[in-house]
Amino acid sequence: MDQADTCKECGGRIVPDEGELVCKECGTVYERRMLSPRFVITPHVLETGVSPSRSYVAPGERPDSVGGLGSYIGYWLSDSLVDVQGRPLTPSRRGQYMRLRFLYNRRLRLTGCETDYRALCLLGHVAELLRLPRSARDRAAYLYKRLRRGRQRGPSSVALILVCLLSAIRESTMPDPPTLHEVIRAFSRIGYRIPVKRFIKACLFCDALGLKVRAQRSETYLRKVTRRVVSLIGEDLSPIDRDRWEERLLEAGLRILGRISSAERGGRDPYALAATAAYAAYKELASELKRPRLTQKVVAKATGVAEYTIREHWVKLFRRVNHQPQVQEGG
């Protein structure tokens, strides 16, 4: 293991967790690691050389804010104002232009854009709670503005921003993306409870407008699940042994999930399938690891999945595929 990846406090392994570098043993946070954006908003030019008139984002590469066309007084989040020669303004002139900028921003943000402004502010709060990269937040804001452009009657702005954020998360390349339940829980912490029927209605509305929420694979959540299981039951292991055990469970879980086809997985929660795959992987490696028997109750406690859900998936899917060869399509 590289010394740079080792905690200076306890010698544990440093891993990326929700946008930060965190020690797995003591929880020391070293630095914030933001993912580079997956896309860059640039003017789109058609083959004829003419730029299209449609635009779904605000100028200045800030799609997550409610802005408008025209000039802007000064620079964004800057209190210093200069003239055309670059000389600072006098205090009286500076105060005058700052008041004008405040009035301009206030009317621009609120007049006719109250709903969008509240939705985008909510998006910023949820993205901060989930520690999402800026690229995912900007992508969600872009999708929301694209869907709201026609001003059609449809679901509430809160449900719409939830679908857009979920779509942006599943389009991104985050190593540890939040699940649907974690996203809904973040909305609930702010005070917005979204029923299942309203969420489904918003998904159907977005699907009719061309935005299809990509289905997530269970393999995406398997590392998160194995990390939580090992953290709960591997307290007596050294950091190195714990990392090796986690990797072994991850490899076995991926191998087991490869034995289940896509048709068999249809309609099931991918995170719950990943939790059951970790349970099945432990049963395969139990004799080799020489560890105590792992119960479904312990896996449910570590992952937050209901115990009866793990039992149902184990009986109907995983028990019969144990020690079988991997299917061709990979599931």
- pLDDT tier for residue 56 given thresholds of 50, 70 and 90: very low
pLDDT the model gives residue 54: 45
pLDDT the model gives residue 274: 92
Residue ranges covered by each domain of the chain? 3-32, 114-208, 218-321
Pairing of strands 14-17, 20-23: antiparallel
Helix (H) or strand (E) holding 165: helix 157-171
Note the pLDDT tens digit of each residue in 311-321: 998 988 888 87
Q: Which fold has domain 114-208?
A: Cyclin A; domain 1 (1.10.472)
Q: Identify the residue whose tokens are 């709201």.
A: 148
Note the pLDDT tens digit of each residue in 58-102: 444 455 554 444 556 666 666 778 887 778 888 888 888 888 887
Residue 317: Cβ-neighbour burial (10 angstroms; 0-12, 13-18, 19+): buried
Under a CB-based contact definition with an 8 Å cutoff, are residues 167 and 143 in contact?
Answer: yes
Please state which of the ranges 23-37, 109-123, 171-185, 252-266 shows the lowest mean pLDDT: 23-37
- Chain-centroid distance of CA 20 in Å reads 14
- Sheet with 20-23: list strands edge to edge: 14-17, 20-23, 29-32
Q: Identify the residue whose tokens are 């802007």.
A: 72
C-alpha dihedral sign at 293, 298, 302, 306: positive
pLDDT the model gives residue 112: 65
Give the pTM.
0.63
pLDDT the model gives residue 1: 44
- 3-state SS assignment for residue 200: helix
Note the pLDDT tens digit of each residue in 255-265: 998 888 888 88
Rounded to whole angstroms, what are the CA distances from 229 to 216, 220, 254, 268? 21, 16, 15, 21
Q: Give the CATH number of domain 218-321; options: 1.10.3470, 1.20.1440, 1.10.472, 2.60.40.
A: 1.10.472
Tokens of 257: 């999930």
CA distance 162 to 159: 5
- 3-state SS assignment for residue 263: helix
CA atoms within 13 A on the CB side of 155: 27
Question: Which of these, 242, 253, 164, lies nearest to 217 by C-alpha position?
Answer: 253
Identity of the highest mean pLDDT range in 10-24, 92-106, 264-278: 264-278
Report whether pLDDT(291) > 50.
yes
Q: What is the percent of the chain where pLDDT is above 90? A: 14
Higher-confidence residue of 158 and 114: namely 158
- 3-state SS assignment for residue 124: helix
Residue 305: Cβ-neighbour burial (10 angstroms; 0-12, 13-18, 19+): buried
Tokens of 329: 């399509």
Please state which of the ranges 91-100, 134-143, 227-236 shows the lowest mean pLDDT: 227-236
Q: What type of residue sits at position 163?
A: V
Residue 19: Cβ-neighbour burial (10 angstroms; 0-12, 13-18, 19+): middle
Rounded to whole angstroms, what are the CA distances from 114 to 103, 118, 160? 16, 6, 15
Note the pLDDT tens digit of each residue in 243-258: 888 888 899 899 998 8
Residue 253: Cβ-neighbour burial (10 angstroms; 0-12, 13-18, 19+): buried
Higher-confidence residue of 155 and 235: namely 155
CA distance 153 to 169: 25
Higher-confidence residue of 184 and 75: namely 184
Relative orientation angle of helices 180-190 and 114-130, to the nearest 10 degrees: 120
Under a CB-based contact definition with an 8 Å cutoff, are residues 284 and 323 in contact?
Answer: yes
Under a CB-based contact definition with an 8 Å cutoff, are residues 135 and 35 in contact?
Answer: yes
Report whether pLDDT(158) > 70.
yes
Instruction: Please spell the DSSP secondary structure of 290-326, one letter per residue.
Output: T-PPPPHHHHHHHH---HHHHHHHIIIIIHHHTT-PP
- pLDDT tier for residue 149 given thresholds of 50, 70 and 90: confident
- pLDDT tier for residue 36 given thresholds of 50, 70 and 90: very low
pLDDT the model gives residue 75: 67
pLDDT the model gives residue 97: 85
